[in-house]
Amino acid sequence: FEALAAVDPDIAGVVTGELERLRGGLQLIASENFTSPAVLAALGSTLSNKYAEGYPGRRYYGGCEVVDRAEEIGIERAKELFGAEHANLQPHSGANANLAAYGAFLSPGDTFLGMALPHGGHLTHGTKVSFSGKWFRAVQYGVDPRTEHIDYDQVRDLAREHRPKLIVAGGSAIPRLIDFAAFRQIADEVGAIFMVDAAHFIGLVAGKAIPSPVPHADVVTFTTHKVLRGPRGGAIVCRAEHATAIDKAAFPMMQGGPLMHAVAAKAVNFRECLQPGYQAYARQVIANAQALTEGLAAEGLRPVAGGTDTHLALLDLRGTGVTGADAEKRCDAAGIVLNKNAIPFDPQPASVASGIRVGSPAITTQGMTEPEMKSIASLIGAAIRDADGSRTAEVAAGVRELVGAHPAYPHPNRPTAHP
Ligand code: PLP
């Protein structure tokens, strides 16, 4: 950081400004976390300099013998952590990991089945604005309107009707566990590849807090920066029979040179996840999400699907008469960072939305537990009901008290230091 500050005060100011922002508020974005100083050190290393197209021992550049070790170690740790037969750590992001998985199994125009974005799926699961909906024939399933759980009957009916080559499970706003065995059965019935996009919950799988999709799926894609708490990036694990197809799709079909500093940082993160303390963290993430959800329900926010089994909850705000967009703004003004989110069958456009999404990964990394979740729920309730902003200062003071007692990156002169 000293080198950065000496050369570029503007960007050094951005880095410290962002650190202060992280420290100063409650970070409840379900897809964010505070990665460790060890991961940040690998990210800020000279490994960023190296071109290493190809795979360990099979590169298109000389001088890869050192970075090869990082990728080999990372692959071995990923296989151990997830009980997987093969791992690819090269996707630069979750969207890239999905593009690689589709590339391995689909040709342009092929049909696949994915969860609709407004029901909790991800952009890359078949929306028209993404490559996934532009290049493929994406058929979309959703949740049952009564239970707000995935409608497995609909998935089966659509699979029988459209005979997709691939079925993807997973998404960005699914609070409940997914029945991977049910998806596997449907995929087998129609001869489809079964892919799980575990970006959101793979950290809970790594921490053995929820069941793993790995034994059921042909291929599992994920991001490394959410509950998992690693560097921003993507990864894929798959059955050995698909290893060559996945590797060829990641490089050279989809990407050029891998980001070796990010690959090394993923390896560091997997080592951290293999420590027993990480399992306690994953369990606490869920306990906190559940406590927060209960608290928010007591504030008059309705938990979609009746609650959560994971790190995130989706809250229907219609009972409060406040839109998701207004709730996001009011919370933001008081230092509570969360996002508006469409709820299933939302009468509002996505830019307004009837819900908010909250997640517990970052606040759990800060060491907060159930009593703090109660306080956070009442602060959110107060912020949302505060139409004229008259209580913003009071809520912000409550936020400062909480984050002051559980600071993120607590060392004042070392922006990369961790709790
Ligand atoms: N898949 C899911 C389920 C996600 O939630 C996300 C991001 O939030 C992605 C893929 C895309 O990841 P990235 O933003 O790294 O491309």
pLDDT at 417 over 50: no
- Mention every residue, 6+ apart, whose C-beta is less than 8 A from residue 269: 35, 36, 39, 224, 228, 229, 230, 231
What are the pLDDT digits (tens) for 109-140?
999 999 999 999 999 999 999 999 999 999 99
The annotation status of 117 as a binding-site residue, yes or no, is: yes
The annotation status of 158 as a binding-site residue, yes or no, is: no
* Spatial contact of 104 and 193, defined as CB atoms under 8 Å apart: no
What are the pLDDT digits (tens) for 263-319?
999 999 999 999 989 999 999 999 999 999 999 999 999 999 999 999 999 999 999
- CA of 337: how far to CAs of 26, 277, 364, 383, in Å? 6, 27, 15, 12
Q: What is the ipTM of this complex?
A: 0.99
Which residue(s) pair with 138 in the sheet? 112
User: Which amino acid type is present at position 121?
Assistant: G
- Minimal-distance CA residue to ligand 1 atom 9: 94
- At 313 the pLDDT is 98
- Banded model confidence at residue 418, pLDDT cuts 50, 70, 90: very low
Q: Which of 166-175, 388-397, 406-415 has the lowest mean pLDDT?
A: 406-415
Q: Give the C-alpha separation, 305 to 354, whole Å.
A: 15
- Minimal-distance CA residue to ligand 1 atom 11: 94
* Spatial contact of 334 and 395, defined as CB atoms under 8 Å apart: yes
- At 411 the pLDDT is 64
- At 412 the pLDDT is 52
What is the residue-averaged pLDDT of the chain? 96
Residue 362 Cα to ligand 1 middle (Å): 17
- CA of 196: how far to CAs of 35, 332, 371, 378, in Å? 24, 33, 34, 35
> Which pair of tokens denotes residue 194?
């079964």
Site residues for ligand 1, CB cut-off 6 Å = 31, 93-95, 98, 122, 124, 170-172, 197, 199-200, 223, 234
- Minimal-distance CA residue to ligand 1 atom 3: 171
pLDDT at 401 over 60: yes
Percent of the chain with pLDDT over 70: 98
The annotation status of 121 as a binding-site residue, yes or no, is: yes
What DSSP state is assigned to residue 48? Answer: G
Burial of 6 (0-12, 13-18, 19+ CB in 10 A): exposed
Query: What is the sign of the dihedral through the CA atoms of 1, 365, 280 and 98?
Result: negative
- At 415 the pLDDT is 47
Burial of 321 (0-12, 13-18, 19+ CB in 10 A): exposed
What are the pLDDT digits (tens) for 19-74?
999 999 999 999 999 999 999 999 999 999 999 999 999 999 999 999 999 999 99
